[in-house]
Amino acid sequence: METTYLEAIRKGIWEEMERDPKVFLLGEDIGIYGGAFKVTAGMLDRFGEERVVDTPISESAIVGAAIGASFMGMRPVAEMQFADFITCGFDQIVNFAAKCRYRWNAPAPLVVRAPSGGGIHGGPFHSQNPEAWFVHTPGLKVVQPATAYDAKGLIKASIRDNDPVIFFEHKALYRKIKGEVPEEDYTVELGKASVFREGRDMSVITYGAMVHVAAEAAEVLEQEGVSVEIIDLRTLLPMDEETVLSSVRKTSKAIVLHEATLTGGLGGELSARITEKAFESLDGPVLRLAAPDTPVPYAPTLEKAFLPDVEKLLEKARWLAAY
């Protein structure tokens, strides 16, 4: 059944709440209002106010309550209205939830949903991609789906996981991306990348909304005689290094693409791993394409200039193909 990215996440959460009474939701405006983006619409009526909890505007309280509930055997799914606001609960996530298994072998089965990304003219406080902060934190799992199928399968797998998961959902994909999503129960394994598109001349390693930018660019390059393989990471931590290296060893050229700003972004980590472990296979430098090191602009024209897009990727890819 063809389903939007948003509806796939909604169905995944709904199914897990039906399957396991220990799953419950908490966040701002998720009950009566149905969430800022309507992901939780209808859930209050179905599951009641004890399992769909409208909270005060306090991300620290939301995350803290979720951690405590997870210790008591519950499986909370906490919503940050926008990923940017996760900073208010940052200490609880990185200094407590992430370290509990290491310190005293305590599972903390919670999911923090974080709607992220630009392309919606949200400006600097509603458009960030802060995944690198959390990928740098051992003990967390960090997930970012690009397709409706993966969105449902990964949210279900995240809810069932016994470690804290930061689940990034790209806002621009919510109603733009559709795909076939099975009605039957399924999950997508955490920690496994996918070969989104097979190719032979160049690898583009990416995730989230940039998977679709890469796919559009790959179609153009195919007409120019350049075959592009696209690796969709899906899970950023733990990272599926072997799928990335296998692709690069096959194609000999690599571009790492992400929407987050360049410096300190995941592109640097991936570039280093490729250089360290697949250097003998490379036939050109590992390139990065990311946003410039500025806050996300509000003006549509400036936001367009800020975000990586097809034309910027084509410029990088053509240069690398000719190298």
Residues labelled catalytic? 126
Task: Check: CB of residue 11 under 8 Å from CB of residue 43.
Answer: no
H helices of the chain, in order, are 5-19, 43-47, 59-71, 90-95, 100-104, 131-135, 148-160, 210-223, 241-251, 266-278, 300-306, 310-321
How many angstroms separate the CA atoms of 138 and 278, rounded? 25
Residue type, 156: K
Cα dist. 162→35, 60, 222, 245, 264 in Å? 25, 21, 42, 28, 28
Alpha carbon distance 96, 278 (integer Å): 36
**Non-local CB neighbours of 208 within 8 Å, separated by 6+ positions:** 116, 117, 129, 144, 145, 146, 168, 170, 173, 258, 259
Give the separation between CA 201 and CA 199, rounded to whole angstroms. 6
Neighbours of 137 (CB within 10 A): 19
Distance CA 265, CA 180 (A): 31
Contact indicator for 175, 5 with CB cutoff of 8 Å: yes
